[in-house]
């Protein structure tokens, strides 16, 4: 699918009254002489997982850093529910409900689960939350997301990588993330832990959270993503529903920047 087609589908969606949770239009960014993003249009619907794929240097990290407020674009717009937003800082992005879960997630190892869920945000509603309230609220969000942790009062270094990733995701959801950006969320995990995190991602979809997923694992991409977008040289070179494309065609697109054999919905 080309950039032009993305714009047409965006118009069709608006006409049907379904607005993307978030979309970019004509986003560009360069660093010195390097064009990291060139006229990028992507969108994410509520409850959708969109995989961002591409070789090293394709522009994926620059795009998600832009969406998480770490970089500002040289040109283009970001819209949430049809309204232009300015993601001028990570805090600004968080306040709009955009949370980023990085591969090397930032949990404070020596603190327990509630302290991690409320890390940096204990001073809510004008007063410091007491420990019982933080534990009660933490248990509530973990139960809602079906994250099973035996003892919340243990320092989090006691938990497995998968459980820690689930704590970081629960923290984002507790603070009302509508858009979750996940950069290789299962890269450091074994199969069982990966399954645990993937199960949580599926329950977030059911809550209407939209997820950008960067992953090099094609199994995860095809298990989790509804749609995928391939980038190369800072441009979007193709998009497809995962149900309408094969893994081989995706790999071809990543390598060549286009599909040699025509796949449904692609040009």
Ligand X SMILES: Nc1ncnc2c1ncn2[C@@H]1O[C@H](COP(=O)(O)OP(=O)(O)OP(=O)(O)O)[C@@H](O)[C@H]1O
116 near ligand X, judged by CB under 6 A: no
State in angstroms the smallest separation of the CB of 31 from ligand X.
3
| In the complex, minimum distance from the CB of residue 189 to ligand X, in angstroms, rounded to a whole number | 18
CB 108 within 8 A of CB 164: no
Please identify, using beta-carbon distances, which residue of 107 and 236 lies nearer to ligand X.
236
Q: Is 62 in the site for ligand X (CB under 6 A)?
A: yes
Closest by alpha carbon to 249, among 257, 259, 235? 259
Q: Is 238 in the site for ligand X (CB under 6 A)?
A: no
- Is 34 near ligand X (CB under 6 A)? yes
Stretch that binds ligand X, among 9-17, 56-64, 94-102, 131-139 (CB under 6 A): 56-64
* 87 touches 69 (CB < 8 A): yes
Residue 60 engages ligand X in binding (rule: CB under 6 A): yes
Is 61 an interacting residue with respect to ligand X (CB under 6 A)? yes
Give the shortest CB-92-to-ligand X separation in angstroms: 19
Closer to ligand X by Cβ: residue 74 or 207: 74
Q: Which two tokens stand for residue 243?
A: 């149900």
| By CB under 6 A, residue 57 contacts ligand X | yes
Give, in order, the Cα–Cα distances in Å from 233 to each of 6, 38, 256.
Answer: 18, 8, 11
The secondary element (H helix, E strand) that includes residue 127 is strand 127-128
Number of residues near ligand X (by CB under 6 A): 11
Contact between 184 and 220 (Cβ < 8 Å): no
| Residue bearing tokens 């950039």 | 3
Q: Which two tokens stand for residue 84?
A: 């232009």
Q: Residue for token digits 């409900």?
A: 97
Q: Minimum CB separation from ligand X for residue 61, in Å?
A: 3
Closer Cβ to ligand X, 19 or 221, answer by number? 221
30, 221, 262 from 34: Cα distances, Å: 5, 28, 31
The contact set with ligand X (CB under 6 A) reads 31, 34, 36, 54, 56-62
């Amino acid at each position: 699918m080309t950039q032009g087609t993305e714009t047409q589908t965006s118009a069709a969606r608006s006409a049907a009254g379904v607005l993307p949770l978030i979309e970019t239009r004509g986003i560009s960014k360069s660093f010195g002489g390097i064009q990291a993003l060139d006229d990028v249009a992507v969108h994410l619907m509520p409850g959708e997982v969109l995989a961002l794929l591409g070789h090293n240097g394709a522009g994926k990290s620059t795009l998600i850093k832009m969406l998480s407020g770490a970089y500002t674009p040289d040109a283009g717009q970001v819209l949430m529910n049809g309204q232009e937003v300015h993601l001028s800082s990570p805090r600004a992005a968080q306040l709009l409900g955009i949370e980023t879960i990085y591969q090397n997630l930032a949990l404070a190892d020596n603190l327990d689960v509630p302290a991690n869920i409320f890390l940096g945000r204990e001073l809510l509603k004008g007063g410091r939350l007491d420990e019982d309230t933080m534990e009660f609220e933490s248990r509530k969000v973990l139960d809602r997301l079906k994250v099973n942790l035996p003892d919340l009062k243990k320092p989090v270094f006691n938990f497995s990588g998968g459980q820690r990733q689930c704590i970081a995701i629960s923290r984002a959801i507790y603070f009302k993330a509508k858009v979750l950006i996940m950069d290789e969320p299962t890269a450091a995990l074994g199969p069982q832990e990966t399954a645990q995190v993937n199960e949580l991602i599926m329950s977030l979809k059911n809550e209407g959270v939209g997820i950008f997923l960067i992953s090099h694992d094609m199994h995860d991409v095809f298990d989790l993503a509804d749609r995928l977008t391939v980038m190369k040289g800072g441009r979007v070179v193709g998009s497809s529903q995962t149900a309408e494309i094969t893994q081989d065609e995706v790999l071809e697109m990543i390598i060549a920047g286009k599909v040699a054999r025509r796949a449904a919905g692609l040009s």
